[in-house]
Amino acid sequence: MRIGWDSDHIYAVENARAVERAGGKAVSVHGRTREQLYTGKANWDIIKEVKEAVRIPVIGNGDVFSPEEAKRLLDHTDHGSHLGELCSNTGRESRNGAAKRRIRNKFGCSRAGCSLV
């Protein structure tokens, strides 16, 4: 899910809690609003707020183009226990294959869907 519709309507935390209450096993959060599409900067602070608000795994993405950026996202959001999810969902930015492979290799993921959890 995106963090919200626009900057005045950010509902990622509430939506993630609803997913968890409904029995969801994980939630994926893209750090931009619908209005932003793929412009501007992803808001990793909201992803961190979501992670702090729920007990299920949070898969964060947005502005991950390299292994170094993947590590920064993990560090910023304290995603240390969910490297496998990051490796399998590195976001639209990494669909070109090469960047996705570099990120997976950096974190020890050798195939799509690997899990280090």
Query: Angle 67-77/98-106 helices, nearest 10 degrees?
Result: 50
Would residue 50 count as lying in a domain? yes
Would residue 117 count as lying in a domain? no
pTM for this prediction: 0.74
Would residue 112 count as lying in a domain? no
What DSSP state is assigned to residue 82? G
- The CB density around residue 81, as the number of other CB atoms within 10 Å, is 11
Domain span holding position 7: 2-106
List per-residue pLDDT tens for the chain, 117 residues long: 999 999 999 999 999 999 999 999 999 999 999 999 989 999 999 999 999 999 999 988 888 888 888 888 888 887 654 544 444 444 554 455 666 667 667 666 655 554 433
Q: Compute the distance between CA of residue 6 and CA of residue 8 in angstroms, rounded to an integer.
A: 5
The total of structural domains in the chain comes to 1
Contacts of 94 (CB under 8 A, 6+ apart): 64, 65, 100, 103
